[in-house]
Every structure is written in C-alpha cells, then in structure tokens.
Structure 1
Amino acid sequence: MAGFHDILGHDSIKDHFRKAIEYGRVSHAYILAGERGMGKKSLAKAFAMTLLCEKSDEEPCMECHSCKQMLSDNHPDVIWVTHEKPASIGVDDIRVQVNDTIDIRPYSSAHKIYIIDEAEKMTAAAQNALLKTIEEPPAYAVILLLTTNQELFLPTILSRCIQLKLKPLQDSLIVQYLTEKMSLNENRAGMVAAFARGNLGRAASIAGSEEFAEMTETLLRILKSIHEMDTEKMLDTIRMMTAEFSDLNECLDFMQLWYRDILMFKVTKDMNTLIFRNEYSAISRICASSSYPGLEQVLDAIDKARVRLGANVNKELALELLFLTMKEN
C-alpha cells in the first residue's frame, strides 16, 4: 500500500483529496470512475490512509498506529463492502454492511470510511438503500464508490457525490515505469504502453504475461506475411487464432497499432514516430506497396471486425472478412 506520492499520474485527483483533507472539506461521498487497472483502489487506499493518519494531512506517515493498521489491511474504521453474488451488489449487502453500521461511531479515528468496489454492480434497490444514507450521513462518514461505469448509477446518486474521473496516463509515464520498475527495454515498453492505452495496471499485467508475448510474436509473423498467404494458409491461420487466443479483441488492438504505424510512416517517413521501431524494414516494405485508401480500408475493417465479434458473429467469419481486406489492401 502506498501514499499519494507513490501513485503514478492522476495529479488532479490527488490534489483534490489532499486539499480536502488539509482544509477540512472532505465530502461524505465520492465516485472514482475509470477502467479496471487504472488505479481506483490505490487512490481510495491512499485517501483513506492519509485521512486517518495521526501525524500528517498530506501523505500518510507510515509509522503511526493508524497507518500500520492500514498497511496490514486491518483498520477497524475502513470497511470494504463485499458481495456474495459476483454479478451484483444487492440491497441486503448495502443494508447489512453500510446502513446498519454507519451510525456506530468510529473506533479510533475521526472518520469512518466505506469503500464499495465495482459499485456499478449495485442493483437499483441497493442504490436506493444507499441513497438514504448518502442524503443524511453522520458527520464522520465517508463513502467511496469505485466504478468502471458511473452511467449505471441513478441520477440521484450522481447528484449527491463528488465525481472524480481517472484519465489515461501519458505513454511516456508508462514507458518510464516499465523500464525502471519492470526492466523492459525501451522498444518493448513503448509497444506495451501504446497497447495499454494509458492504463498502468493493464500495462504491468501484459508486460509480464508470457501469453501476451507469444500472441504478439505470432501476430507479427502473420501481419508481415499476410500479403503472401494463399487461401488455405489464411484459413489455417484464422483457425489457429480462434483456437489459441482467448481474447480476439486484444488481437484486433494489436493489429490496429501495426497499421497505425504503417500509415504514420507513410505520412511522415520518420521512424521515430513508430511503435514497432524494430520492424522498420517490414513496415517500410508494406508501406511502399500500400495506398492511403487501402490502409484506411484496413483500419475500418478492424473496427468492423470488433463490432461483429461484439455482436457474436461467427469468429472465423469475422476474421476471414478482415483478413481478405488486409490481403487485398
């Protein structure tokens, strides 16, 4: 567990929390919204730890009794709301863990903090039950709703919470983290950062994934040779992809980055703009034989394949249509 200074990026949210604590203007309810892996839990923990710290209101001291309880995940005044059903947080979960306990004063701190992860899973009844507490909370209570989709909250919930949205990190920050903390070389780190689209958690996960490394190596071989594939080889490749790759949308993301590089190089002729700098010769060769309209058609076909997969169209058929467009253009 870390303080604010150990969290990469999200400076505006960290500043908001710091100032709220410093000036005694902590709200009774917050929504932290962002993709899975972007740091919502880390921010919530840092906020809770700093708010409850006995010595500091800017960063947790890591030494006081409260900080040590937080570090051991054993603070009596920080309640993580759990739920037995994986797909939903029911009204009983909220009533038993929040509503029925919130009037009990904090054991050892000035605040009592409730953290509801995956809060978008609350049913309408659960949200209405929570609303009664948010409308008239005890002065010491703070409720943090962590969500990947705040649009699923009732308007009445949204209107009574301070909404803080996590933004994607700059690729340069992620590259720096991957090279310094995970010892990736700069080219590999750049590709992972671009693939992660500003999500540090996702970047760290795929950087250490053997499955992702195998997928990228296989896809690179396919993308560099697709123009020479005959029909039989192309169909065999598609069958292999649907059998071996668990997430075809990740494959499409990778293909999109590849063709983005080809298009970018065709426009700029500058290899420094490339994500796949190590593949300069292959990108240069494909670029020379591809037209602007052709590359735009390929990128459009990738988007269409993503839509088809989302609509549960036959996977092999969706990839066949994509591969034919890639081969022709």
Structure 2
Amino acid sequence: MTGFKDVVGRKDLVSYIQKAVTQKQISHAYILNGERGSGKKMFAQLFAMTLQCERGGAEPCNECHSCRQALSGNHPDIIRVVHEKTNTISVEEVRVQINNDIMIRPYNGKYKIYIVPDADMMTVQAQNALLKTIEEPPEYAVIFLLTENAESLLPTILSRCVMLKIKNVKDALIKKYLMEQMQIPDYKADVCTAFAQGNMGRAIMLATSEHFNEIKEETLQMMKYIKDMELPELLKALKSLSSYKVEVDDILDLISVWYRDVLLYKATKDINGVIFSDQMKYIKESANTSSYEGIETILKALEKAKTRLKANVNFELVMELLLLTIKEN
C-alpha cells in the first residue's frame, strides 16, 4: 500500500484526510477507530507520510527522502509508541515516549508525529498523562491514537481528538480485490469475503492463510459426512478439531456458513447465493436430509456453543454436544 489511490472503499475517509492536508487544517490529535484488520495502521501511515512528504501534495510521493525514510520505517519524526506488556500501556511509557520527547523539535520533517497502536490499552494514569500533552501541544505535533474500542478512552481524551471511524468495506469490493489483485479463485474469494464481514485486512489474511485453509478443509470434511458418522467416528473427528482450539470461532463460523447455505438452497433451490459453491453436491444432500426445524435447531446450538465457550466451558464437552445436535438434525 503506497498511496490513497490503492485504498479499497472508504473514499469518504480518504477524501477527508486529503482535504485536511491540502487545506492545512490539521488537528493535533486523531483517533482512528476500527476493528482489528480494518486498516488503522495503514491509514495512520499514509496520513503521516502525506504530512511529511517534501512535495506537499494530497498523496505521499514515495520518492522524496522523507517518503523513503517512512517506507523503510526509519523516519525520525514518525514515532511509533511501543509497550512491553501485551495488554497495557503504562503511564511511564507515555511519559518517556511522548511527553518527554514531544518538546524536542522535528529533526527534518514539518511535523513530529506519534502513532499509538492499541491506544485503548492505556491505563487511566497513562491517559491522564497524555491529556496534558493533547491540551497544550507544540504546533508541530500530531498524535494518532489507534483503537478498536474508542469508548474505553476517557471522555476528556475523546473531546480533544478528531474521531476517524474506519467503516466496513462492501463485500463486492472485497471480492473484486481478492480476485483481481490477488488472483484468488472466485469460490475461495466468496468464502474469505463472507468470513471477513467487511474487514479487508481479515479477508486478505484468510485468502493467504494456509492454516485457515486447513481448518476449513477439516471442518467441511466433517460437515459432508457427519450424518453418516457413528459415535466413534464423531469422537475421532472431534479429537482432530481439538488441535484448532485457538481458532474455534473460525470453526463455528464455518459451520454457520455451511448451514446458512443449506437453508438458502432448501428454501430457494438457487445456487447463486451459496458461499460453498464448490460443495453443492453435499449442500443439496444436507438440504434434503434436514428439516427447516432441524436447521434452526442447529443454528441455535451454534450460538449456544459460542456463548458457552466464551464462558470457558470445557471445549470437548461443548463441541461434542454441538456435533451430536448436528448429527441428529
């Protein structure tokens, strides 16, 4: 990603940033709010590069000394705040990396820019320390707070920052990007798009992940034959799935999409909206053997399984009950 022209969707956000840069209406602090994989780091990087670009346009030129430094991750005036603990940004880290550093003028850029990933992990003390800087920043300072949950920031922080919400990308645009830019086959692009739920970063990750492909193949293999499995075979399949405990949400989502396809085909006999279009033989078989009530029971069981797993109920127990419900319906 080397410029705003490469951004898929989110034209409103691109337009806002470019207008702010060209009209020199730059705020001292921004919150980029969006789920993981939504593009927060990308937007912060492009915004920072555009601000520092020596040509002063609405896009980073990628050729000047400043842009080359930023692309290599070595720009002295684009500072990324890091934290030692995985789930906390401490007051000391804010003081050392931002507050004590921000009064030193930029080395060679127009601005001194701080990018704070996981800003919602700042402790209350860290946020209060940052607040003093945001209230009276030097004219050259710009701070980007990247967060998945802006509501967790103090109201005093929120009120002093410009909020940039990163919205989901339309499915059609994600699928087009995967097929045209990454040469992903249409049936695989359909699956990745359905799972991404508007999150371009997640779609790209799924499309390029061999691990996700393994989980998908394992889960679909079980869905195809689960009605004919005897209990020992079912327990064997469960044991195999146990190796993917960390990705249990992906497994449950795959099963949900499978039965969404089964329900769609059963109700309409239309194959155009089916996500797992390469599995039509088995989708049709499942639609013929399951009643509407049975499919509804399975979908409810999937939601119940998700709730139980979030409550730390035993994985094997939850999955065994779910698989038996699927087999019986």
What TM-score, normalized by structure 1, do the two folds share?
0.95
1:86 is the counterpart of 2:115: no
1:194 match: 194
For residues 151-205 of structure 1, give each alpha carbon's deviation from its aligned partner in whole angstroms, at most 9, with x where no partner exists: 2211211121111121222222222222233322111111111112222222222
Q: Which residue of the partner structure matches residue 265 of structure 2?
A: 265
CA distance in 1 between partners of 2:244 and 2:37 (Å): 25
Residue number in structure 2 paired with 1:124: 124
SS in 2 for 1:38: coil
CA distance in 2, matches of 1:291, 1:180: 39
Task: State the alpha-carbon separation in 1 of the partners of residues 135 and 22 from structure 2.
Answer: 24
Retained in 2: the 8 A contact 1:215–1:245? no
Preserved CA contact (<8 Å) 1:7 1:43? no
For 1:286, the aligned partner's letter is: S
1:244 CA drift (Å): 4.5
Question: Separation in 2 of the partners of 1:248 and 1:228?
Answer: 23
2:105 matched to which residue of 1?
Answer: 105
Distance 2:14 2:279 in 1: 39
Report the Cα offset of residue 245 of structure 1. Answer: 4.8
Structure 2 counterpart of 1:33: 33
Secondary structure of the residue aligned to 1:146 is strand
Secondary structure in 2 matching 1:31: strand
Question: What TM-score does the superposition give when structure 2 sets the normalisation length?
Answer: 0.95
By how many angstroms is 1:140 displaced? 1.6
1:128-277 mapped onto 2 (5 Å cutoff): 128-277=128-277
Counterpart residue number, 1:314: 314
The Cα shift of 1:97 comes to 1.1
Of residues 319-328 and 36-45 in structure 1, the stretch that sits farther from structure 2 once superposed is 319-328
| Aligned-pair Cα RMSD in Å | 1.5
For the residue of structure 2 that corresponds to 1:272, the secondary structure is coil
Deviations 1:69-112 (A, max 9, x none): 21222222111111122221110111111111212222223221
**Residue 267 of structure 1: CA displacement?**
2.5
Quote the Cα distance in structure 2 between the aligned partners of 1:114 and 1:50: 14
Deviates more, 1:1-10 or 1:120-129: 1-10
Contact 2:218 2:241 in 1 (8 A): no
Is contact 2:226-2:234 (8 Å) kept?
yes
Hey, what's the Cα distance between the residues in 2 that align with 1:273 and 1:89? 45
Runs of 4+ more than 4 Å apart? none
The runs of 5 or more residues in structure 2 that have no matched partner are none
Percent identical pairs in the alignment equals 50
In 2, Cα distance between equivalents of 1:70 and 1:138: 22
Aligned AA for 2:215?
Answer: M
- Distance in 1, Cα, partners of 2:313 & 2:20: 49
Q: Which whole-Å deviations, capped at 9, do the CAs of 1:11-31 have from their partners, x for residues lacking one? A: 221111111112221111111
Query: In 1, distance between residues paired with 2:229 and 2:323?
Result: 10
* Equivalent-residue separation in structure 1 for 2:74 and 2:303 (angstroms): 46
1:1-44 CA-to-partner distances (Å, cap 9, x unmatched) read 51211222222211111111122211111111112222111110
1:61–1:67 contact (8 Å) kept in structure 2: yes
The Cα offsets for residues 263-295 of structure 1, whole Å up to 9 and x where unpaired, read as 122222211111111111211121122222221
